[in-house]
Amino acid sequence: METSELRNKFVFFIIFAGIITLLLIVFPFIELPLKDYVSNVFGTTDGRMGVTAAILLDQIFRILKIVLWMSLIVSIIRFINQLIFSTALGSGSHEISFLLRNVFSIILYIVSFFIIFNSQYPGIDLAALFTTSTILGVIIGLALQDTLGNLFSGLAIQADQPFQIGDVIRIDQKGEGVVENVSWRGVQIRTFQNKLVIISNSVLGKEIVEVAPRDNLNARLVFFNTLYTNSPAKTIQVVREVVRQIENVSQKIRPVVRVRNLGDNGLDYEVKYWLEDYSKYNDTDALIRQRIWYACQREKIEFAYPTRTLHIETKPQEGVFVETSDEIFERLSSVPIFAPLSDEETQKLAGAALARVFAPGEAIVRQGQNGKSMFVIHRGKVDVQLKEASGTKSLRKLREGDFFGEMGLLTGEPRTATVLAEEETEVLEINNLCLKPIFEENPKLVAALSHIVEERRLSFEKLETQTEERKIKDKTSVFNSIKKFFGLHD
């Protein structure tokens, strides 16, 4: 507190105390004559009224005296408070808490009140009134439960002195800020958003409080990362030099820059530095990050960002059970229906063929369904079944190197039968799209193929399994239906 302010307070105190003292001195002189006068005035008409008026006036004088004495005491205590705490002791590095000051004052007020009250009412024992009255005790106890809890926690905090005004404290999930005041109720902190947060002493006593003392060099960590291609030695040196020049970074301890992790995306670094004023750590952190960015730009040190190395695996076109396209070629070459094709054409066909694997009992083609592909059995065996009104009839078993579904491929007609895999079977599927360009290049192939298909049909006939409808169809030229289906001209 400034001297002029203290002088003003002193003058005010002297005047105020002087007036009170004067009143207290004057009181005895006017008290008796006034009492006599009042009792005479009221006693002339009625003697009892005169006595009552005198007693009333006596009470008023007693209360007035208590009020005047208390005013004098309060002003003296307040002045002494100012004198002792704000000047003599307050000039030290530690400010004496307001809380202690208030507690000290309250105790003096209470003691003074008891003494003054006793001087005016010697017959009434105030202390006994408080100590013997159970109900009063309970009422006061309940009403002051929280208040007293806060008060005693506050006193414990003061006795322990874990932090001072001006320190930065952080209480988990309650806030962080600079301590501004410690009162009998709680601790008041100013957050970094310039808000005031008041935490009651009893709550504070139960929490973990992180304290960054004002007169201590508190450290902070700032993180950044660079690519693996940048030398750590150079990065550390560049960043350390730039950080130590930043204001509010203490010159007493050299900042530490170190690699904290070999991360997924690059080298992770941490900068540990000590602050002159911890309450400004947000600004200092931000400035450090900014300066690191500029320094890294100058020194061509690149920051890391999430990267992924992709290994692209080319998926084989064939199914997992077919090893090579040569195998497919070999297989197709051995199929009689493709005998008229040149090696080159067979190779093309092999390139377009899709290997498919079917489980035992699974239908590869279903009777009546539309299908535009044929199948060559590469591995396993199948059962060709015909569904009739009387039931399902097995027409033929086909094995490795056999083919089926040729009518669907060459004429586009619905499947004439159902073909079931008898065991795990791998087939090579050839669709009409990959066959069409081969037909266009070599139209003579159509005649050769239709001949083979007709031959097979004849062999089917011998088995006498064909329907009437099928027999009529066989009479029409397979050749024509193939040409029509593939849109080939003569």
Q: Which residue has the tokens 């009221």?
A: 42
Per CB under 6 A, the segment of 5-13, 73-81, 353-361, 409-417 that binds ligand CMP is 409-417
Cα–Cα dist 376/360, whole Å: 17
Phi then psi dihedrals of residue 62, to 5 deg: -65, -45
Residue placing its CB nearer to ligand CMP in the complex, 229 or 459: 459
* 186 forms part of the interface with ligand CMP (CB under 6 A): no
Residue placing its CB nearer to ligand CMP in the complex, 243 or 386: 386
* 460 forms part of the interface with ligand CMP (CB under 6 A): yes
Of residues 344-373, those binding ligand CMP (CB under 6 A): 365, 371
Considering only residues 189, 335, 417, 446, which one is a binding residue for ligand CMP as defined by CB under 6 A? 417
Side-chain-side CA neighbours of residue 330 (13 Å): 8
CB 302 within 8 A of CB 296: yes
- By CB under 6 A, the count of residues binding ligand CMP is 17
Residue placing its CB nearer to ligand CMP in the complex, 254 or 366: 366
Distance in Å, CB of 457 to ligand CMP, minimum? 8
- E-strand ranges in 36-174 read 168-171
DSSP assignment, residue 380?
S
The DSSP result for 414-451, as a single string, is PPSSEEEESSSEEEEEEEHHHHHHHHHH-THHHHHHHH
Q: Which residue is nearest to ligand CMP (CB)?
A: 408
Distance in Å, CB of 332 to ligand CMP, minimum? 16
Residue placing its CB nearer to ligand CMP in the complex, 81 or 465: 465
Maximum distance among all Cα pairs of the chain, rounded to whole angstroms:
159
DSSP assignment, residue 315?
P
CB 310 within 8 A of CB 300: no
Rounded to 5 degrees, what angle do the CA atoms 35, 64, 133 make? 115
Joined together, the tokens standing for residue 326 give 């040569």
Distance in Å, CB of 309 to ligand CMP, minimum? 48
Residue placing its CB nearer to ligand CMP in the complex, 127 or 463: 463
Per CB under 6 A, the segment of 16-24, 73-81, 144-152, 410-418 that binds ligand CMP is 410-418
Per CB under 6 A, the segment of 17-25, 261-269, 273-281, 403-411 that binds ligand CMP is 403-411
**Interface with ligand CMP (CB under 6 A):** 365, 371, 384, 395-396, 404-408, 415-417, 419, 460, 463, 465
